Amino acid sequence: MDHKHFLVTGATSGIGYELVKQLHYHGARLTLLIRDEEKATQLFPTKSFPNISFIVCDLNDTTAIENLSSDFQKLNVSFDGFIHSAGLGYFKSLASHTTEELLKTYRLNVIHFAVLLNVIKPFLVTNPQIVALSSMSGLATQPYAAHYGASKAALIQILNALRIEEPSYHVLNVILGPVKTPFHDHSDPSGTFKRKTALFMLKPEQVAKDIIVAMNKGHQELRAPKWMSMMLRLYSLAPRTIEKAAKPFFMSKKQ
Ligand SMILES: NC(=O)c1ccc[n+]([C@@H]2O[C@H](COP(=O)([O-])OP(=O)(O)OC[C@H]3O[C@@H](n4cnc5c(N)ncnc54)[C@H](OP(=O)(O)O)[C@@H]3O)[C@@H](O)[C@H]2O)c1
């Protein structure tokens, strides 16, 4: 990671925060796209994180993302990699989603990832690393988190296509089960999902470590936890039957 320059989203919380701390420790230079400068400055004070800089950009705002191009030109930067950790979801029924919640989910998780990819393309080195955090929710039926699951399924499809359309890119798809982060305070303020999954929630520090190992080894996919990944492979053989047989498991996101 020595001296490599990464552009990172979602660095002010959870997995992205751990990842940036660890990448900085390993000698990387990082430019963070953040929406709250005060929070970012508190988390990454220049004295302790001299190789981290911020660009304020609300990733819910398409024009702000398109305007990044002129920021990058002014800074005369090139990036060795792009890490998209920003993401959100609402664990509620299809009928309960407001239009704004629905739009925010797809914009942040998938549409603006695609826009960002195009915006940063001229500023990427020839063999860049593209890392995106998808989710096991994108691989299975998701009652009470359908738009979250659908947005992650779309993200997975974009990553699969990107790997083939841009063979010089190293694309890493990080497919995760539940991780203990503030994500759940927003997705399910009732705390029900967090309680149901407390026993097997992954630790963000370990997830970040595993992502860096996968980046260094050039892996195309990282799945954690392994047992959940195995279950999903079985599910894909007979999804409708397994939906019926293991219904309580599929209802974990119901509040
Ligand atoms: N946690 C899990 O159980 C889990 C499981 C599977 C996959 N994932 C995926 O992993 C990724 C990271 O999740 P996490 O648990 O680390 O989430 P998190 O703790 O909620 O962090 C989300 C990050 O996204 C940023 N963000 C949200 N909206 C934004 C916007 N409009 N503009 C700019 N930044 C914005 C947040 O910024 P602020 O700090 O300003 O809020 C924060 O830095 C997400 O894509 C998530 O879907 C998480």
| Cα–Cα distance list, 131 to 8, 74, 90, 163, 186 (Å) | 9, 25, 23, 11, 23
Listed by start position, the domains of the chain span 5-250
Q: 156 falls in which pLDDT band (50, 70, 90)?
A: very high
Atom of ligand 1 lying closest to residue 59 CA: 32
Architecture of 5-250 per CATH?
Answer: 3-Layer(aba) Sandwich (3.40)
Average pLDDT over every residue of 183-202: 93
Which position has the token pair 């701390």?
A: 21
Going 38 to 108 to 120 to 22, the CA torsion angle's sign is: positive
Report, as an integer, the average pLDDT of 85-110: 98
> Taking residues 185-192, what's their average pLDDT?
94
* Ligand 1 pocket, mutate which of 136, 179, 193 (most atoms under 8 A from CB): 179
User: Ligand 1 centroid vs 124 CA: distance in angstroms?
Assistant: 23
Give the per-residue pLDDT at 42: 98
pLDDT at 171: 98
* CB of residue 15 inside a 6 A radius of ligand 1: yes
254 against 111, higher pLDDT: 111
- Report the pLDDT averaged over residues 114-140: 97
**pLDDT at residue 173 greater than cutoff 90:** yes
The band of 245, judged by pLDDT with boundaries at 50, 70 and 90, is confident
**Ligand 1 pocket: which of 12, 13, 193 to mutate (most atoms within 8 A of CB):** 13
The stretch 206-217 carries a mean pLDDT of 98
Of all protein residues, whose CA lies closest to atom 2 belonging to ligand 1?
A: 179
Tens-place pLDDT, residues 16-47: 999 999 999 999 999 999 999 999 999 999 99
pLDDT band at 250 (very low <50, low <70, confident <90, very high): confident
Model pLDDT for residues 197-206, shown as the tens digit of each residue: 999 999 999 9
